[in-house]
């Protein structure tokens, strides 16, 4: 049975607040970007699972699958389009104030798209009901958090992109370890 205290903690620490606090912890931004750029990990989903984890919860795989598809569609059609534009304009922005201003506007839009995606993840988790069990208590010991997070994001499938690339593999392993260590020691902002 789902622990109602854990669910209440989700409501007290919005996913966006968790994401901002966790992302600025030492090494987390670099780890997230490594996983995003090397393996195609959806950082918003990664943050969602981290948020659940620090609150002692996890998403049930069968309930998660349709939501994951919706969130991935949002990422592909909205966030990734904006990210691509922002990155494409980077060289031009160095030589043009107007392109630099445009790039900053796109960067803000990309951030807002990520925030919207996180809010949708949060609504999905909090709208959990007895007839629609989306979440379950996470009975996990902290020394397992790295494997747990990898499993939540289908790491075995994602890892195929690193085969034959030792330096990429090492960067990915370091990224997972950084994230797990930060999750294990995460303290919510006051």
- Residue 190 inside a domain? The answer is no
On whether the CB atoms of residues 54 and 92 are closer than 8 A, the answer is no
- Residue 189 inside a domain? The answer is no
The predicted-structure confidence for 142-189, as pLDDT tens digits, reads as follows: 556 767 777 766 666 556 666 666 677 788 888 888 988 888 878 765
On whether the CB atoms of residues 163 and 190 are closer than 8 A, the answer is no
- Residue 105 inside a domain? The answer is yes
SS3 58: strand
- Residue 24 inside a domain? The answer is yes
State how far the Cα of 70 lies from the Cα of 68, in Å rounded to an integer. Answer: 5
Q: Is the pLDDT of residue 79 over 90?
A: yes
- Residue 120 inside a domain? The answer is yes
Rg (CA), the chain: 17
- Residue 49 inside a domain? The answer is yes
- Looking at the structure of the chain, the number of domains it has is 1
The predicted-structure confidence for 37-58, as pLDDT tens digits, reads as follows: 888 889 999 999 999 998 889 8
Q: Domain range spanning residue 35? A: 4-184
On whether the CB atoms of residues 134 and 91 are closer than 8 A, the answer is no
State how far the Cα of 46 lies from the Cα of 68, in Å rounded to an integer. Answer: 11
Here the tokens at position 135 are: 């979440």
Q: Is the pLDDT of residue 7 over 60?
A: yes
- Residue 62 inside a domain? The answer is yes
């Amino acid at each position: 049975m789902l622990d109602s205290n854990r669910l209440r903690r989700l409501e007290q620490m919005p996913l966006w607040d968790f994401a901002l606090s966790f992302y600025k912890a030492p090494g987390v931004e670099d780890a997230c970007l490594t996983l995003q750029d090397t393996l195609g990990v959806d950082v918003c989903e990664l943050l969602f699972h981290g948020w659940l984890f620090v609150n002692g919860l996890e998403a049930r795989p069968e309930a998660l699958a349709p939501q994951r598809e919706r969130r991935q569609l949002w990422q592909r059609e909205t966030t990734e389009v904006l990210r691509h534009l922002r990155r494409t304009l980077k060289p031009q922005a160095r030589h043009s104030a107007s392109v630099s201003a445009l790039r900053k506007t796109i960067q803000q839009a990309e951030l807002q798209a990520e925030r919207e995606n996180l809010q949708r993840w949060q609504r999905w988790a909090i709208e959990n009901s007895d007839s629609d069990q989306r979440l379950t208590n996470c009975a996990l010991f902290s020394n397992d958090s790295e494997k747990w997070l990898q499993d939540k994001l289908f790491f075995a499938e994602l890892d195929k992109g690193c085969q034959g690339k030792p330096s990429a593999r090492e960067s990915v392993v370091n990224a997972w370890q950084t994230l797990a260590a930060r999750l294990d020691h995460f303290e919510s902002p006051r």
